[in-house]
A and B are shown apart, each in its own frame.
Chain A
Amino acid sequence: MKELLIILMSLVLVDNFVLSKFLGICPFLGVSKKLDSAVGMSLAVIFVMLLATAVTYPIYIHLLVPHGLEYLQTIVFILVIAALVQLVEIILKKHVPILHRSLGVYLPLITTNCAVLGVTLLNIDEGYSYVQALVNAIGAGLGFLLAMVLFSGVRRLIEHNDIPTAFKGIPSILIAASILSVSFMGFSGVVDGIFK
């Protein structure tokens, strides 16, 4: 239990996927303008990350490894993620239209989100057990949600500031992300401090 908590906490605060591992930068910069779209995108990412881990991990362990096909990892994982995203969209559209209206629009963007493929690959690289891998996926997703929500707040505040012409738009957003990332560096060591 303690081990799982360490994985969860360190992914949300210390090794944040967006702010310290640079995974999922495109949606982080692109969809963080409004709070509701930031939350919607993050929830969709958490859901797909969890589902993708739940499916790709057993495929790797029980199908690829016994047959010596580990080299197919990248191809299989990206195809599974692409298929899952399509499937989820179809199911949501048919059976849960309310959820589809709020999350559905972000689903096609998630296939090419490197955070989702990243988390499935990292689970294998780190040699996690199935439960650890699932917790890892949730932690990565929650860290993404935290970064997105905080950053949408920051962006709302800097939007109407008097920024030098050259820094208007993307440059100012990147500098703001840099400062947010500095503040997350303050968490380094916090997990060791709590759990030791």
Chain B
Amino acid sequence: MNKLNILSNGVIKENPVLILLLGTCPALAVTTMAVNGIGMGLATMMVLICSNVVIALLKNIIPDKVRIPGYIVVIAGFVTIVGFLLKAYAPSLDKSLGIFIPLIVVNCIILGRAEMFASRNSVVDAALDGVGMGIGFTLALFLMGSIRELLGSGSWMGIVMTAEVIEPMTIFMLAPGGFFVFGCLVALINKLSNGRAIKKKEMGCAGCPSAGGCGQIKEGGCH
């Protein structure tokens, strides 16, 4: 796989949110506004790149048996750093993302990429994969945030757009709107690609970060 492929892979062909259906918790929770989507995406991207690089560097040092706890420590360290940076330089964003900043630790995308990609590839490839996946995640969150903000409050990036013409539908800012918009986006991608993009219609073991330590794989998965 050449370098450009690795980079673009995460953006379109294997978009972590819309195609692999990973990291659904932050994708649903923080996308009430487009700005929050970008903020969450960039924070996750930074953790993803750093942890991918460090794990690719340490892949021969970490013993196979304790690799998952090892990855978790590396990821948690970077999440703490990103949390501090946000608190210092973007306090309002930090407030609106709230508990989902420390929860980046358990974001399936990061542990999944560490297990599936960074631990098997060179440092440069791992960094590129982190950039690509990060851009894909940010774009997906930005898209969802834009749709929900436009429909739910009639504005976009904080600028009033349609609020005076059409009464905003507040439900899109609330929990049900998140599920609904996400469902419609996945359906749209299904339609555009004639169902080819999302090969596994159900969540499969391939995307599960616990796959390494899970005894269920031999029996065909947990569902």
Contact = CB atoms under 8 A, between A and B. Distances in A.
A181 B175 contact: yes
Interface residues of A, number: 55
A126 B185 CA distance: 35
Interface in B80-118: 80, 83-84, 99, 102-103, 105-108, 111
A29 B203 contact: yes
Contacts of A173: 183
Contact of B76 (A22, A23, A30, A75): A75
B103 A118 contact: yes
B197 to A, nearest CB: 11
Main SS of chain B's interface residues?
helix
B178 A22 contact: yes
Of the four ranges (under 10, 10 to 19, 20 to 34, 35 or more), the interface on chain B belongs to 35 or more
Contacts of B180: 174-175, 178
A30 B80 contact: no
A99 interface: no
A73 interface: yes
Interface in A170-196: 170-175, 177-179, 181-182, 184-185
B201 interface: yes
A121 B99 contact: yes
Nearest to B202: A169
A14 B213 CA distance: 35
Contacts of A108: 210, 213-215
Output the residue of A24, A109, A114, A178 with the most chain B CB within 10 A: A114
Interface stretch (B20-28, B51-59, B157-165): B20-28
Output the residue of B73, B77, B105 with the most chain A CB within 10 A: B105
A82 B72 contact: yes
A122 B184 contact: no
Contact of A169 (B72, B77, B198): B198
Interface of B: 21, 24-26, 28-29, 68-69, 72-73, 76-77, 79-80, 83-84, 99, 102-103, 105-108, 111, 171, 174-180, 182-184, 186-188, 190-191, 195, 198, 201-203, 208-210, 213-216, 222-223
Interface of A: 19-26, 29-31, 33-34, 37, 71-75, 78-79, 82-83, 105-106, 108-109, 111-114, 117-118, 121-122, 125, 164-175, 177-179, 181-182, 184-185
